[in-house]
Chain A
Amino acid sequence: MKPTQKAAGAAANYVDERTGAAKWLKKNLTKVFPDHWSFMLGEIALYSFIILLLTGTFLTFWFDPSQREVIYNGSYLPLNGLHMSAAYDSTLRLSFDVRGGLLMRQIHHWSALIFMSAIVAHLFRVFFTGAFRKPREFNWLIGVGLLTFGIVEGFLGYSLPDDLLSGTGIRIAEAILQAIPVVGSYLSFFAFGGAFPGTAFIPRIFIVHVLLLPGLFLALITIHLMLVWYQKHTQYPGPGRTEKNVVGYPLMPVYMAKAGGFFFVVFGVTAFLGAVASINPIWLVGPYTPGQISAGSQPDWYMGWLDGLVRAAPPLETHAFGHTISWNILIPGLILPGILFTGMALYPFIESWFTGDKREHHLLDRPRNAPNRTALGVTSIVFILITIVNGGNDIIATHFHLTINGIMWFTRVGLFVIPPIAFVVTKRVCLSLQRSDRDLVLHGRETGRLVMMPNGEMLEVHEPLSDAKKWTLTQHQRPEALAAPLPASATVGLKGKLRARMNRAHATQIPAPTLTDLKELGEGHH
């Protein structure tokens, strides 16, 4: 035995005698993970979080979370001699007077953007493939929580440097607090330790940004991953893949190398962005003061939809009995996002309520095979995309020679008109794709080769699909694949009728071809 092997054996023995970990490790080293690119989206988010922790810790070594007023005399000359908060001053210093400081700041910010987009892309994957179904509802809820806290965490980070842009963002957040009925002005004063902007807010959000929320993330991510581990990963349908098994590569060594390597890839790509593309150049934006503003003041993209909704809101306020309620803030800023996120969190339970489906699902749906769900997802994405466009309407207007008023009206009307159209179109596209799958199974693949029959007729040669492919395209055909017929007792009353209606809508699909169909077709031909 080589000395290294001997040492490793001794170490393993030492640990196992104290923890009994050998059994667990033996089992889990061979744990199988299915391989698909879309399963890496969540990993991108996870690794971005680690990058955020590393770079964020670096930044705290120099960042001074204080709104104490100082006079800048650092190496960025165009700001020399100006009054500013210590937070802004220290951000300038760590950008210009610390080697690699600006790089770390940029990696941190890019990583935050990628973190959020990876979470959203991961959410799309989970939604469109039906991976949220039993038994994975808890993980869906945790995911929605992570998305929500991610938005808050990102916004706080964007606010910390106390530049003109972030101050404007805080001003708007303050206005939302202030608009809450009955307690709004009190909440604002408590949050800011008095009048806006005050000197308390940045120290407070700093500790929330670097301790409270990251701690919460760690806890939630841990549970999220433990559940993935324990419940085993879902897999896409295909030959040999069933509800009862999981097919893939073992943790040791393949997945360790792939997932471990992928962490470095995520770090590398984020570092590349941090190296070549400037993000949030706060030294150009200037220090915050409430009397100044820049054209094109926007939040980061994950808040852009919220800003777009607020922009599109109608000018509604209620003035009665000496009180004011700002619907123009409450509806787009709190009520609508609240409904959207609650609806998103509850969706697995809603779907299982109207489908009556209480079975476990480990095989993923191909999105086309659940047309109703896919259409709903696309509808939501289209809705959010319209609001994001409106959130950047000033930049879009100047770069594409449009008018902000035009984009705003497009949004106001489009938010009601386009999502329903998207729903109908998506559902039809899904059904068409199902039909084309059916044709493919029954008639084979078009080869593009033409042959002339003895009677002079020209025919294109169709090549039958492989058995594996046929199985992949038809495996979802089980009698109650999408929605179980509801018992008559469950469809009475308004709620029952709604349930029955949604059940029918969800059950819409093209019958997948069977071997019998294929045989009958064959007999017809001969």
Chain B
Amino acid sequence: MKRISSFRRTRIAGPILVVAALFTIGTAFGVASALPGAQTPMTTGTSTLVSQGKAIFLRGCSSCHGLHAEGGSIAPSLIGVGSAAVDFQVGTGRMPMADMSQQAMQKKPLYNPQETAALAAYVASLAPGPSSVTNESLAYERDGNSALGGQLFRTNCAMCHNFAGQGGALTNGKYAPSLMGVTPKIIYEAMITGPQSMPKFTDATITPQQKLSIIKWLQAANHEQNQGGASLGRVGPVTEGLLGWVLGLGLLIGAAVWLAMKAK
């Protein structure tokens, strides 16, 4: 079994190497624009961007991901992860990691959008992979259907991110983050790259248009007005029970104490 899989790996690895060698930044751009609504930031001086990115990579990333992004004992290979993964990880500040904790946390990005784009261009130049997108390129308002999106969300996302996208617990301290306030492009890139614990949702299993539906539903959930008063975090009965005891019974016991107190 091992031999078969390693054989297969070499068979796949061959073309990948060839492709990696052949693919210029221009063809990478072509692949990127073939994906729905995708655009790459590389409009001018792409090769400069790649070399800029490589410089940043060698300075800031290579100690973990290896000099040629081939990965190491503590960090995965970045060959073939595409510019979308870089845009997601670096653009949300998850990479570079602050410490080797269970999970890379979202924080203030270390690199500015220019540097992030350069890094993305460099990683995309290594091998083809999912390309980053922009908020403007995702016409979710036009192409999405929020009812369908809600159904897809509940089938594919709610088990980790909670029914209202508030996030939830995973094993051993890992967690699925809240999706509130997350921009459409970051959600899109997360779905196509499967960052960290999150699995990938390929365009074959959830079509680009269905992804836009999910985003449309999430944007609606983001702006969901409170129909019945304070939302209590939208995490279900735990906060409700707490409020019932503390505020509900608390106020009533307060009233009972007042009732039984002798008047002056």
Q: For the complex, is B94 an interface residue (Cβ under 8 Å from A)?
A: no
**Interface-side segment among A58-66, A198-206, A277-285, A321-329:** A277-285
Please tell me if the beta carbons of B175 and A40 are within 8 angstroms of each other in the complex. no
Please tell me if the beta carbons of B163 and A278 are within 8 angstroms of each other in the complex. no
* Among candidates B228, B237, B238, residue contacting A106 with C-beta atoms closer than 8 Å: B228
Q: For the complex, is B159 an interface residue (Cβ under 8 Å from A)?
A: yes
Q: For the complex, is A291 an interface residue (Cβ under 8 Å from B)?
A: yes
Q: A295-B169, A295-B176 are in contact. Are A113 and B155 (CB under 8 A)?
A: no
Please report the total number of A residues contacting B with Cβ < 8 Å: 75
Please tell me if the beta carbons of A392 and B169 are within 8 angstroms of each other in the complex. no
Please tell me if the beta carbons of A269 and B255 are within 8 angstroms of each other in the complex. yes
Please tell me if the beta carbons of A117 and B227 are within 8 angstroms of each other in the complex. no
How far apart sit A275 and B230, CA to CA, in the bound complex (Å)?
Answer: 9
In terms of DSSP, what is the predominant structure of the interface of chain A?
A: helix
Interface bin, chain B: 35 or more
Please tell me if the beta carbons of A395 and B230 are within 8 angstroms of each other in the complex. no
Q: For the complex, is A28 an interface residue (Cβ under 8 Å from B)?
A: no
Please tell me if the beta carbons of A265 and B252 are within 8 angstroms of each other in the complex. yes
Please tell me if the beta carbons of B259 and A37 are within 8 angstroms of each other in the complex. yes
Count chain B CB atoms within 10 A of each CB in A35, A39, A395 and give the residue with the most. Answer: A395
Q: For the complex, is B74 an interface residue (Cβ under 8 Å from A)?
A: no
**CB within 8 Å of B: which A29-52 residues:** 35-41, 44
Q: A79-B147, A278-B228, A283-B227 are in contact. Are A37 and B257 (CB under 8 A)?
A: yes
Residues of B within 8 A of A (CB): 146-147, 150-151, 154-155, 158-164, 166-169, 171-173, 175-176, 217, 220-221, 224, 226-232, 234-245, 247-249, 251-253, 255-257, 259-260
Q: For the complex, is A437 an interface residue (Cβ under 8 Å from B)?
A: no
Known: A278-B231, A281-B231. 4 other contacts (CB 8 A): A78-B147, A117-B248, A277-B240, A286-B151
How far apart sit A114 and B257, CA to CA, in the bound complex (Å)?
Answer: 17
In the complex, number of A-B residue pairs with CB atoms less than 8 Å apart: 208
Contacts of A304 in B (CB 8 A): 237-238, 241
Measured CB to CB, the closest approach of chain A to B132, in angstroms, equals 27
How far apart sit A297 and B168, CA to CA, in the bound complex (Å)?
Answer: 10
Contacts of A36 in B (CB 8 A): 260
**CB within 8 Å of B: which A378-418 residues:** 392-398, 401-406
Q: A40-B260, A292-B158 are in contact. Are A394 and B251 (CB under 8 A)?
A: no
Please tell me if the beta carbons of B256 and A403 are within 8 angstroms of each other in the complex. no
Q: For the complex, is A82 an interface residue (Cβ under 8 Å from B)?
A: yes
Please tell me if the beta carbons of A44 and B249 are within 8 angstroms of each other in the complex. yes
